[in-house]
Amino acid sequence: MRSGERIVITGVGLTSPNGDDLETYRANLLGGVSGVEIFDVRHLGPTPAGVCHFDTLRYQKRKEARRGTRAGAVAIWCANQAVERSALDLDRYDRGRVGVYIGITEHGNVETENQVYEVAEFGYDLNYWSHHHNPRTVANNPAGEVTLNLGLKGPAYCLGGACAAGNLGLIHAAQMLRAGEVDVALGGGVSESIRSTGIFASFRAQNALARHDDPTKASRPFDRDRNGIVASEGGALYVLERRDDALARGATIVAELIGWHVNSDGTDFVLPDSAGQEACMRGALRHADLAPEAIDVINTHATSTPSGDEIECRAIRLVFGDCPDVRVNNTKSFIGHAMGGAGALELAGNLPSFTDGLVHPTINVDNLDPECELSGLVLDTPAPKARIDHVLNMSFGMLGINSAVVIRRYRA
């Protein structure tokens, strides 16, 4: 057991609606550039959504992409980018000791809907049902596709944590490194949710699907006129290592993962609970051995649902109400809600603050809801901060799951 070892991030790979690498993504967050556009959803029509435009064939052959899944393609892009950015030479490692841990909201809906739609075109003749359906829809598919693509032999699976799952991938990767089960871990989360009609239809049935004449303004957390979620695809995966191992190979360390917590509200299928969210934040702070005032940036989960944003802001005030130097932002205002990829992708957008000294803003808040007022909320333009040492990243999900991670500027 290696419970005391420090866990560091040495590579970040991502695809988002407003950037397919960390530099572009960060520049657009600082520049106020939304990635939300109109997307034609089957049976539903034109709908605001966050769509990724990465080159699927950069790391996959055409046949592999056809056989695989959209979530797998997202994961493969992110994994390859992360490995490249970390300057990790996989040939120098025992590939049986490289783990892949990917958070997902769901998996298989897209492929099943597509298959049903396709066989319907042939009068439901199941002779047209693809023999690839089962490997496409198993829950471990995105992680498995990464292992096939990179030739990895270690433990690889997905963690279902609703919209808290991106953080779960990071947390589990750190735990496996500390337990000595692997020497290198790829952890984070991915989402292909916009390819599923059912996800949009369900949010619409809840009256929780965003509507706006301008798609770039549809995702508007904390605004008095917010009216629902903008579904998004995308994700981020990180190369995580034990600090001593990273230093031994001369790696550049991006940041350090020092605290985390996961809990459940135990109260409702969909509606979040401030008490559970408060407990999750406090648990992550305890694990990181930090007081609330030590946090410099809070990346909120806020999804632009009327009740969800209010409940989260209430929890934040309970924990950070006496911390005037804490800055608060929201990344979904730029990219929508990437579901299982949200936590990992939103964290990535805040990591560069350690070096550039800027807190990216929340956009589309034209009329701040008084119930969502927070001390330190950054709106419209980036906020400079003399020194940024700690980022708290929060993600919450249906059935009351909450997750939070604390990331620290690396210090020797």
pLDDT at 4 over 90: no
Please state the φ and ψ torsions of residue 68, each to the nearest 5 degrees: -90, -160
Mean pLDDT of the chain: 97
Q: Is the model's pLDDT at 298 over the cut of 70? A: yes
Residue 161: name the closest of 404, 396, 406, 405 by CA: 396
Q: Tens digits of per-residue pLDDT, 241-266?
A: 999 999 999 999 999 999 999 999 99
Chain segment 190-219, per-residue pLDDT in tens: 999 999 999 999 999 999 999 999 999 999
Residue 255 domain-assigned (yes or no): no
Mean pLDDT of all residues in 271-280? 97
What's the CA gap between 326 and 301, in Å, rounded? 16
Active site residue 360: no
Looking at the structure of the chain, the number of domains it has is 2
Candidates 107, 172, 212, 301; catalytic one: 301
Domain boundary among 187, 213, 248: 248
Domain span at residue 365? 260-408
> Does residue 233 share a domain with residue 330?
no
The CATH number given to whatever domain includes residue 34 is 3.40.47.10
| Residue 1 pLDDT > 90 | no
pLDDT digits (tens, 9 = 90+) for 131-161: 999 999 999 999 999 999 999 999 999 999 9
Split at pLDDT 50, 70, 90, the class of 301 is: very high
- Mean pLDDT calculated for residue range 378-402: 97
With a cut of 70, say whether residue 327 has pLDDT above it: yes
Q: Which of 52, 163, 280, 372 is catalytic?
A: 163
User: What are the two backbone dihedrals, phi and then psi, of residue 249, each rounded to the nearest 5 degrees?
Assistant: -95, 5
Residues 321 and 372 in one domain: yes
Are 191 and 232 in contact by the 8 Å Cβ rule? The answer is yes
Q: Are residues 224 and 111 in the same domain?
A: yes
Catalytic choice (261, 337, 360, 390): 337
> Would residue 170 count as lying in a domain?
yes
Phi, psi of 406 (to 5 degrees): -115, 125
* Within a domain: 210: yes
Question: Do 270 and 239 reside in the same domain of the chain?
Answer: no
pLDDT in the model for residue 235: 98
Of the candidates 248, 283, 312, which is a domain's last residue?
A: 248
Domain assignment present for 1: no
43 flagged as catalytic? no
> Is there a catalytic annotation at residue 301?
yes
Given this model, what pLDDT does residue 3 score? 57
CA distance readout (Å), 309 to 5, 229, 264, 277, 324: 36, 11, 18, 12, 20
Judged by DSSP in three states, 339 sits in helix
Nearest to 345 by CA among 172, 169, 173, 166: 166
Same domain, 15 and 156: yes
Domain co-membership, 265 together with 347 = yes
- CB count in 10 Å sphere of residue 171: 27
Q: Would you state the torsion angle of the CA atoms of residues 295, 297, 303, 305, taken in this order, to the nearest 10 degrees?
A: 70
